[in-house]
Amino acid sequence: MLRGRNILLNLVALCALDAAAANGPSTMTPGQTYRWTDDKGVVHYGDSVPSEYAGKERSVLNGQGVEVGHVDRPKTPAELAQQAQAQELARQRAQRDQTLLSTYVSAKDIEALRDERLAQIDGQLQASSTYIESLATRLGALQERALQFKPYSDEANARRMPDDLAEELVRTANEVRNQRKALDTKRKEQADMRAQFEADIQRFRELTAKVRS
């Protein structure tokens, strides 16, 4: 239905143009017609596009009503930003592909580097875990000592907690919290690194398969 309607509109437009040419001088460019749609969805034809529709897309038709050209509407700032972002991502991808091909001879080279880097992080994680365990042991001992003093002791004659013990408790508890947070960050770094290497290996295989084919 839509295709038939468009053909009918084209025929009507061409008849109108022929009639206009027969009735007097025409300002049209010989054999060329513009087709555009207004804000209400109505299709128009003419030798020029009104200024209020200059920012809309339009088609260029030859003398037989066949589309021979197309002018897109100007992109919005959001569309331009999206296009620029897509182009930047494509540039980064191409640069990464070039780096992979120029750095490694085979996928096994990437796997070897992956294993080496992950092993380094494993060592760091083990060292951090050991340190946290020692801090936790120290914090437990400090908490046991704190139970002998107010406000933690139930003894009526319990003394006030010494300032140095209170300070050490706070300092050690903060250190335990910070180290655990750092350990979580390092684990995430390891997971991200593993994922990146796996992506690089897969991409390298795709690129080298294209080269071989």
Q: What pLDDT shows up at residue 127?
A: 97
Domain residue ranges of the chain, discontinuous segments joined by +: 2-71, 105-212
Average pLDDT over residues 187-213: 92
Average pLDDT over residues 124-153: 95
Whole-angstrom Cα distance, residue 110 to residue 205?
Answer: 11
Q: What pLDDT shows up at residue 13?
A: 45
Q: Running DSSP on this structure, what letter comes out for residue 158?
A: P
Q: What pLDDT shows up at residue 32?
A: 81
Backbone angles phi, psi at 64, to 5 degrees: -95, 5
Q: Residue 108: in which H helix or E strand, if any?
A: helix 107-146
Q: Measured at the alpha carbon of residue 85, what is the angle toward residues 79 and 86, in degrees to the nearest 5?
A: 90
Bridge pairing between strands 67-71 and 33-37? unpaired
Q: Which two tokens stand for residue 141?
A: 């001992």
Q: What pLDDT shows up at residue 156?
A: 85
| Domain covering 105-212 assigned CATH 1.10.10 in the classification | no
Q: Which two tokens stand for residue 105?
A: 């001879």
More confident residue, 9 or 48: 48
Q: Residue 124: which of 200, 173, 179, 198 has the closest Cα?
A: 179
Q: Running DSSP on this structure, what letter comes out for residue 149?
A: S
Bridge pairing between strands 43-46 and 58-61? unpaired
pLDDT at 8 over 70: no
Amino acid letter for position 164: D
Q: Residue 197: which of 85, 90, 91, 121 has the closest Cα?
A: 121
